[in-house]
Chain A
Amino acid sequence: MRRLAFAAALGASLLVGPAIAQESQETPPLPKLEWPFEGVFGAFDRGSAQRGFQVYNEVCANCHALRLLTYGDLGPSGPGGGLGFGLDEVKAVAAAKQVPDTNDQGEPITRPATPADHFVPPFPNEKAARAANNGALPPDLSLIVKARAGGPDYVYAILTGYKEPPPGMKMGEGMNYNEYFPGHQIAMPPPLSDNSVTYADGTSATVDQESYDLVNFLAWAAEPTLEERHRTGIKTILFLLVLTGILYAGKRRIWAAVH
């Protein structure tokens, strides 16, 4: 058992490696988008991220959990100031979901969710999720932007990377061809199409727009404190630059006598 684990661990690179290496040679480089949250002054585009939440809530949430977030995180008391929704909106979003609980008699019941509840997962457990998805497990999306090489660009590329399989490629049953997925065969069918959602602000819901909005939302979900980090970082670096300048002047002055 232990030998097996070791062999699996060290040998994974030897055995699985070549197959992936060959496939990845055909994977085109990820399209590089300009994300508003990137860079030293990067901040979330809340309009886009709110539309992205709508895409998640109406489309993705049918299969993908977002277990690290509570509904309240979307509102004004959420980490990093939330996603910009008002408390009433958050309450309405939560109340549309049912969560299991017990009543005062200890009997199992379901009740409408509140802002304090975590996002309700689409499936009660992994087996149910696999049973409903042709054996595949839709990953939790809470950290998807941080958990994949390429981050937001990778997620965007997957969402927009569906194509007809090249002639001669044998696809597994129920599998879909995606340019950017390792091995090109992904269990998830193309999740978004034009007008999958209707945006209240009148934004045209193309696949590209929906994907862009969704990635903005998922980037916020992966690290809601990002803006606080950037703001603190700018102040910290400015402080350190001044401090280091003073220390350098002090060093020059003190050492002047020795040199």
Chain B
Amino acid sequence: MDAPRKQSKVIRWIDERLPIFAFVDHELNAYPTPRNLSYWWNFGSLAGFMLVTMIATGIFLAMQYTPHVDFAFDSVERIMRDVNWGWLMRYIHMNGASFFFIVTYIHVFRGLYYGSYKYPRELLWMLGVVILLLMMATAFMGYVLPWGQMSFWGATVITNLFSAIPIVGNDIVTWLWGGFAVGNPTLNRFYSLHYLLPFLIVGVVMLHLLALHQHGSNNPLGIDRKGPQDSIPFHPYYTIKDMFGLGVFLIVYAAFVFFMPNALGDPENYIPANPLQTPPEIVPEWYFLPYYAILRSVPDIWLLVFTIPSKLAGVLCLFGSIGVLFVVPWLDTSPVRSSRFRPVYRWFFWVLVIDAFALGAVGAHRPDAVIGGISYLSIGRVGTLYYFFHFLVLLPLLGKIERPRPLPASISAAVLKSVPPAASGKMEHA
């Protein structure tokens, strides 16, 4: 934990008492990182950037927003019209939710592809799933705040899920609402929690990073580092790579914020909430569509002596679809991390990706709508079955029957093999 030598007296004075500079140097500067990380490893820092962006814009929006059923919608419109740069803060925040989920989903699928959840990173992965759950709760409650039609009816549908719980379900829903319908107490508590949860996310992200830095990043080869030749310091190599990735990401993000800010939203939410009028279709934001599809796909389930009604079964599968991620480290029995060396699993990984997109499409359509002669409900049922089949059957089975390809001796051996001799000569000057 030695701090760098070239530093001022002041920094040394502070560091002796509070090793903050030594900590930063250790974790962000010298921090040894696999030399072969691909651009898929950019999405963790992008997710961190989005978290900060959401908190920063959210704080400014909170200064102008009014959490009351009579004023919420108009206060958002006031932000759009009369508050200086209010439209910018609001569109960054609103599209930021979508982009936060985009980078997070890519981050999660990268972990699934490269086996980043395997020993010794099980807790790192599980903390990530906790972050995902907290993000989903935060996004859901945030979507309620503008108090448009979809805010209100989305809140009604989702909170009603808890009424599926036997015996106490209805009481729980009344307790969540703070009344007998979604109303002002609901809006107020959602606002309070929407402000609180991001800071809980920050806390879990700290733990996520602590767990990450314990063993360092996984890498595209999925093999452990054998020595210093396999690592490079985080700075400047990954600071510059992350910043370049951030630049590319920001261009796409800005294109949405400035030129199609409502493309990912539902026009219905520009109509003020009306408890007496149900919209023709109640659809969640795109990032919840696969889960919504799972919720609606499940029929009554008969177990020998009793039946789980479809509503409860749907809710169980909805939560199960996230819950199953927690135990992925133990469901996957393969000793090999990276899909590069798993000739069978890598195909099923892509089937899972397609399945997720298919479920998303199902969530966006009425169950009885038809595509190519097949109802979306049927697709949803097959997609839901496959989702659980992948995790509960394929993952344990493949580890037993798949013959992985031979692993390279070390990261540096694999990396330098592809470098022509002339270029590797530069190494000596580095």
Chain A residues within CB distance 8 Å of chain B:
1-3, 5-6, 8-10, 12-14, 16-18, 20-21, 40, 68, 73, 79, 139, 142-143, 146-149, 151, 182, 222-225, 228-230, 232-234, 236-237, 240-241, 243-244, 247-248, 250-251, 254-259
Cα distance A234–B257 in the bound complex, in angstroms? 11
Q: What are 26 A-B residue pairs whose CB atoms fall within 8 Å in the complex?
A: A2-B173, A9-B153, A12-B279, A13-B281, A17-B280, A17-B368, A18-B368, A20-B280, A68-B74, A143-B270, A143-B271, A146-B267, A147-B271, A222-B270, A223-B87, A229-B88, A229-B258, A232-B258, A233-B254, A234-B258, A240-B250, A248-B244, A250-B244, A254-B240, A256-B426, A259-B423
* B427 close to A (CB within 8 Å): yes
Question: CB distance A12 to B419 under 8 Å?
Answer: no
CB proximity of A140 to chain B, nearest CB, Å: 8
With a CB–CB cut-off of 8 A, which chain A residues contact B279?
12
> Is B157 positioned at the interface, with any CB of A under 8 Å from its CB?
yes
Is there contact, CB below 8 Å, between B366 and A228? no
B159 CB, nearest partner CB in chain A, Å:
9
Pick the most buried of B35, B181, B366: most chain A CB atoms within 10 A of its CB. Answer: B366
Q: Is the interface of A mostly helix, strand, loop or mixed?
A: helix
- B15 contacts chain A at the CB level, 8 A cutoff: no
A-B contact count (CB 8 A): 145
Q: A147-B267, A237-B251, A254-B237 are in contact. Are A13 and B173 (CB under 8 A)?
A: no
Given A1-B180, A2-B170, A230-B258, 20 other A-B contacts at CB below 8 A?
A2-B160, A5-B156, A5-B160, A5-B181, A9-B278, A10-B282, A14-B367, A149-B267, A151-B267, A182-B280, A228-B87, A237-B254, A240-B247, A240-B251, A247-B243, A250-B244, A251-B241, A254-B237, A257-B430, A259-B419
Collect the chain A residues with CB atoms within 8 Å of residue B232's CB: 258
CA–CA, A254 and B240, complex, Å:
8
- Interface segment among B3-11, B21-29, B77-85: the answer is B77-85
Q: Please provide the chain B residues from 234 to 291 with a CB less than 8 Å away from any CB of chain A in the complex.
A: 236-237, 240-241, 243-244, 247-248, 250-251, 254-255, 257-259, 261-262, 267-268, 270-271, 278-282
**Bound complex: CA A166 to CA B337 (Å):** 65
Min CB gap A142→B, angstroms: 8
CA distance A60 to B281 in the complex (A): 28
User: A17: which B residues are within 8 A, CB to CB?
Assistant: 280-281, 366, 368-369
B364-385: which have CB < 8 Å to A? 366-369
* Interface hub of B77, B244, B282 (most chain A Cβ within 10 A): B244
Q: How far is the CA of A247 from the CA of B244 in the complex (A)?
A: 5
Using CB atoms, name the residue of chain B closest to A8: B278
User: A182 to chain B: closest CB distance in Å?
Assistant: 7
Residues of B within 8 Å of A40, CB to CB, are: 259
Is the pair A258, B271 in contact by a Cβ cutoff of 8 Å?
Answer: no
Which residue from A14, A142, A182, A258 sits with its C-beta under 8 Å from B366?
Answer: A14
How many angstroms between the C-alpha atoms of A222 and B259 in the bound complex?
A: 15
Q: Which residues of B contact A139 (CB under 8 A)?
A: 271
If A17-B366, A240-B250 touch, does A12 touch B282 (CB 8 Å cutoff)? yes
Q: How long is the Cα–Cα vector from A40 to B258 in the complex, in angstroms? A: 9
A252 to chain B, nearest CB (A): 9
Structural contact, B267 and A148, CB atoms closer than 8 A? yes
B426 touches A257 (CB 8 A): yes
Query: Is B429 part of the contact surface with A, judged by Cβ < 8 Å?
Result: yes
- Most chain A CB inside 10 Å of its own CB: which residue of B173, B174, B267: B267
Q: Is B296 an interface residue (CB 8 A)?
A: yes
Take A79-B81, A224-B81 as given contacts and tell me if A229 and B430 are in contact as well, using a CB distance cutoff of 8 Å. no
B407 to chain A, nearest CB (A): 22
Q: Does B91 sit at the interface, judged by CB under 8 A?
A: yes
Q: Tell me if B163 counts as interface (CB < 8 A to partner A).
A: yes
Complex formed: what's the CA distance from A148 to B368 in Å? 23
* B251 CB contacts on chain A under 8 angstroms: 237, 240-241, 244
The residues of A that contact B244 with a CB separation of less than 8 Å are: 244, 247-248, 250-251
Q: Write out the residue numbers on chain B whose beta carbons fall within 8 Å of the beta carbon of A256.
A: 426
Q: Smallest CB–CB gap between A54 and chain B, Å?
A: 22
> Which residues of the partner chain A approach B181 to less than 8 Å between Cβ atoms?
1, 5
A233 neighbours in B (Cβ, 8 Å): 254-255, 257-259
Known: A250-B244, A259-B419. A13 touches B366 (CB 8 A): yes
Question: With A and B bound together, what is the CA distance between A257 and B427 in angstroms?
Answer: 6
